[in-house]
């Protein structure tokens, strides 16, 4: 019996090895972004919360507080780039094969030492206990990191980015009032920046169990005065209207936010749920309030395209792009439309037009890092190889660095901009900060190390 079990084990292991080797031996596909994974988790949490609310397992107040917490985490996600990363260079089969062989024999050794095929499965309660222990260990590690960062901030209290990081850690640990205090420090240091104002307002809402307090409302209103498209401020001001019983005003604010948001924006599931619930309470069909997706080609159009010549298909695409450009002249605030136009021009290899469309999108979403990066990329491809970085590109990098301090792309190119301007100490500062975030053994780290060595070798 043990022999057959061993054979079965080997067969299953061989299948697993093939599954492992195939992706390692071909070009790597882009990995799913951490933001996409987090969004999927939060969507599941919202669905589970709705079910618990329907079954009466939690009260309406508890549900609202939980929704606010999940919403904060959704809104905190950084939207990833919409373009896939370039494929990695073709990998050698030798390393993966040796690695797989070691894995197989190590697994066999462990199996024959401690394996017990006839052992019963562990009870769910025991597994749940282990899960809780793991969560406790994670919280302990995060608590230690927060304590270490707090100690550093005591010595360097003017580190705005540090206070924001500490506040986020405190929120993750459920210490909402402490997060309020940390965000207050960051807000003062930022000079009232709208993004930090919204973060502070959101922390106040969470500390108040989901209620939009007068102070939080004032912060959100101030954020909108300086940045009219700030999404968190708009969402929570809608929530304030809803909590005050002014459902029509709440629906108006949320519908406007939905119309200005990209369909895949991380806050759209929660926002859509709020709109549907409020519309239902007002006796309004949600379909008349929610933004409708842009119509795509019909099945007949797709079939007709299959029968076209390449020239006819190109003409059809050109016609669709020109039609979209004409619509944007009448509706210049359509952010998603400008992004579609920018990508379309890029596919058509019309680089200048793509950059212009991205510029419009970047102006409509000045605090969206992914859109700013798209605009920067469109500017960079206009440059000739070896040419200096253009001023408008550098300005976008500075904008990204102000929105997201320590952004890796911004740090690299701002270092390059300082280098081409002859400011070697500044370039070294940017690149050393970037180097600390890059894992060992990666081509990116090697490139940054090379540039730092060039700075050290250059005459001072």
pLDDT tens column, 195-207: 999 999 999 999 9
HEC string of the chain? CHHHHHHHHHHHHHHHHHHHHHHHHCCCCCCCCHHHHHHHHHHHHHHHHHHHHHCCCCCHHHHHHHHHHHHHHHHHCCCCCCCCCCCCCCCCCHHHHHHHHHHHHHHHHHHHHHCCCCCCCCCHHHHHHHHHHHHHHHHHHHHHHHHHHHHHHHHCCCCHHHHHHHHHHHHHCCCHHHHHHHHHHHHHHHCCCHHHHHHHHHHHHHHCCCCCCHHHHHHHHHHHHHCCCCHHHHHHHHHHHHHCCCHHHHHHHHHHHHHHCCCCCCCHHHHHHHHHHHHHHHCCCHHHCCCCCCCCCCHHHHHHHHCCCHHHHHHHHHHHHHHHHHHHHHCCCCHHHHHHHHHHHHHCCCHHHHHHHHHHHHHHCCCCHHHHHHHHHHHHCCCCCCCCCCHHHHHHHHHHHHHCCCCHHHHHHHHHHHHHCCCHHHHHHHHHHHHCCCCCCCHHHHHHHHHHHHHHHCCC
Instruction: Summarize the confidence of residues 236-261 as an average pLDDT.
Output: 92
* Res. 71 pLDDT band, cuts 50 70 90: low
In contact, 345 and 357? CB cutoff 8 Å:
yes
Give this prediction's pTM: 0.46
Q: Tokens 């990066």 sit at which residue? A: 373
Two tokens at 444?
């990116």
* Res. 246 pLDDT band, cuts 50 70 90: very high
* Res. 22 pLDDT band, cuts 50 70 90: very low
Whole-angstrom distance between the N-terminal and C-terminal Cα of the chain? Answer: 75
Q: b vs e for 193-204, b when ≥16 Cβ sit within 10 Å of the residue's Cβ?
A: bbbbbbbbbbbb
Mean pLDDT of the chain: 76
Higher pLDDT, 423 or 46: 423
In contact, 259 and 251? CB cutoff 8 Å:
no
Per-residue pLDDT for 23 more than 80?
Answer: no
Instruction: Summarize the confidence of residues 29-55 as an average pLDDT.
Output: 55
* Res. 318 pLDDT band, cuts 50 70 90: confident
Two tokens at 391?
């001023």
Lowest mean pLDDT among 257-266, 319-328, 371-380, 387-396: 257-266
Q: Give me the pLDDT at residue 303, please.
A: 61
pLDDT tens column, 92-107: 433 444 444 444 444 4
């Amino acid at each position: 019996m043990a022999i057959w079990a061993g054979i079965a084990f080997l067969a299953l292991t061989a299948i697993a090895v093939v599954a492992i080797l195939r992706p390692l031996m071909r070009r790597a596909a882009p990995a799913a972004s951490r933001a996409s994974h987090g969004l999927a988790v939060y969507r599941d949490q919202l669905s589970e919360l709705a079910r618990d609310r329907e079954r009466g397992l939690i009260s309406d107040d508890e549900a609202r507080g939980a929704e606010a917490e999940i919403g904060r985490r959704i809104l905190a996600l950084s939207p990833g780039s919409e373009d896939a990363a370039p494929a990695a260079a073709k990998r050698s089969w030798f390393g993966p094969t040796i690695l797989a062989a070691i894995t197989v024999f190590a697994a066999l050794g462990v199996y024959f030492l401690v394996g017990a095929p006839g052992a019963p499965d562990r009870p769910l309660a025991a597994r749940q206990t282990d899960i809780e222990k793991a969560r406790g260990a994670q919280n302990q590690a995060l608590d230690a990191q927060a304590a270490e960062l707090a100690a550093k901030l005591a010595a360097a209290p003017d580190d705005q980015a540090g206070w924001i990081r500490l506040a986020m850690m405190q929120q993750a640990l459920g210490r909402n009032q402490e997060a309020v205090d940390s965000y207050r420090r960051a807000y003062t240091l930022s000079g009232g920046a709208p993004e930090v104002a919204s973060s502070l307002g959101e922390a106040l809402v969470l500390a108040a169990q989901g209620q939009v307090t007068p102070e939080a409302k004032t912060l959100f209103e101030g954020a909108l005065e300086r940045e009219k498209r700030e999404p968190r401020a708009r969402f929570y001001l809608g929530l304030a209207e809803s909590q005050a019983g002014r459902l029509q005003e709440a629906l108006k604010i949320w519908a406007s936010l939905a119309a200005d948001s990209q369909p895949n924006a991380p806050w759209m599931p929660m926002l859509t749920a709020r709109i549907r619930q409020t519309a239902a309470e007002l006796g309004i069909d949600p379909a008349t309030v929610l933004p409708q997706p842009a119509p795509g080609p019909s099945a007949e159009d797709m079939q007709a395209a299959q029968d076209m010549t390449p020239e006819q298909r190109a003409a059809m695409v050109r016609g669709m792009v020109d039609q979209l450009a004409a619509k944007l002249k009448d509706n210049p605030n359509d952010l998603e439309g400008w992004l579609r136009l920018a990508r379309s021009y890029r596919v058509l290899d019309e680089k200048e037009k793509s950059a212009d469309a991205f510029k419009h999108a970047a102006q409509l979403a000045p605090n969206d890092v992914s859109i700013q990066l798209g605009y920067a990329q469109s500017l960079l491809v206009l440059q000739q190889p070896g040419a200096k970085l253009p001023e408008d590109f550098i300005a976008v990098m500075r904008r990204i660095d102000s929105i997201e301090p320590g952004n890796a792309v911004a740090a690299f190119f701002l270092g390059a901009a300082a280098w081409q301007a002859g400011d070697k100490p500044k370039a070294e500062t940017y690149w050393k900060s970037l180097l600390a975030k890059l894992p060992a053994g990666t081509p990116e780290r090697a490139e940054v190390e090379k540039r730092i060595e060039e700075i050290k070798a250059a005459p001072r």
